[in-house]
Amino acid sequence: MDSGVAVFGGATLTPSVSSSLATNVRLFHLSPHRRTSHLAAFRSTSHLFTHSSSFKSPLKPHIFLPHLVASLEVEETYIMIKPDGVQRGLVGEIISRFEKKGFKLTALKLFECPKELAEEHYKDLQSKPFFPKLISYITSGPVVCMAWEGVGVVASARKLIGATNPLNAEPGTIRGDLAVQTGRNVVHGSDSPENGKREIALWFKEGEVCEWAPILEPWLKE
C-alpha cells in the first residue's frame, strides 16, 4: 500500500491533510470534554475505529478508514452473492449496485458450490473456529458467481460491499443496507488484485469470462 496516501470516505488525503486530521483525531481522543453532548450516548469513541497493524501512516492510532486504496490499474475482482442473498431475492439489487457504479461485468452464473471448491476458496481461513460453519453456509444453496472489471475495481468493490460484520458496515454499502450478521453477510469480494485473478480462475472455466466493449464507456471514462 502507498503509505503516503490515505483514503477517507472516498476522498484522497495528502500527507499534510492527513497529519492535520491526525492531530484533530488525537485531540478528539485526548480531550473527552471537547465532545459534544449528543456523543455522550456512546460508551467511548474507541469502538468506532478500526485498527490495522499493516496500515503504516501518521493516521495509525485509531482512524476509521477503509484499508484498501483504489489503484489506477484496470483490475478484475471476483464477486459472489452468497446463498442468503440468493434466497432473500437480493440478486438484482446487488448486481445493480456494481452496474450502476460503472464497472464491467465479464462473467456471471448461478452455481451450486461443491464443498472442495468452498474449502479451496476460503483456504486462508482453514484454521479459524468458524471455518466449518462458513463452508456449510456457502454450500447451503446456489450462489451467484461474477467477475467484474474496471480501474481500481478491487478496492472499490470492497467499499461498495462494506465491512465484514454488517453491523459495522456503513449505511449505503451492500452489507450495511442489507444484512445484520457476519455469518450471513450476503456477498463476497476479492481482497486484492492477485486474489481477484486467483478466484476468477477458481470459479470460472475457460470460455466463461467474456471480453466485450460496453458502449457506455465514453460516458464513464475521459
- Contact residues for Mg ion, defined by CB under 5 A: 191
For Mg ion, the closer of residues 82 and 97 by Cβ is: 82
Side by side, which strands form the sheet with 104-111? 104-111, 143-151, 74-81, 187-189
* CA 77/CA 194 separation, integer angstroms: 9
- DSSP-assigned letter for residue 171: B
9-13 long-range contacts, CB within 8 A, separation 24+: 10/159
24 binds, among ligand DAT, Mg ion, none (CB under 5 to 8 A by kind): none
Cell numbers describing residue 203: 470459479
Among 97, 104, 159, 188, binds ligand DAT (CB under 6 A): 188
For ligand DAT, the closer of residues 22 and 157 by Cβ is: 157
Among 19, 182, 192, 195, binds ligand DAT (CB under 6 A): 182
Instruction: Give the interface segment with ligand DAT, choosing from 35-43, 109-117, 182-190, 198-206 (CB under 6 A).
Output: 182-190
Residue 29 designated active-site: no
* CA 170/CA 44 separation, integer angstroms: 19
Regarding 185 and contact with ligand DAT (CB under 6 A), the answer is yes
Looking at residues 102 to 141 of the shown chain, list those that interact with ligand DAT (rule: CB under 6 A).
125, 130, 134
For ligand DAT, the closer of residues 104 and 188 by Cβ is: 188
Q: Within 13 Å and on the Cβ side, how many CA atoms surround 12?
A: 9
In the block, cell 476479492 appears at 190
Catalytic residue among 47, 67, 121, 188: 188
Query: Do residues 101 and 160 make contact, with C-beta atoms less than 8 angstroms apart?
Result: yes
Minimum distance, C-beta of residue 19 to Mg ion, in the bound complex (Å): 31
State the residues that interact with ligand DAT by CB under 6 A.
125, 130, 134, 164, 182-183, 185, 188, 191
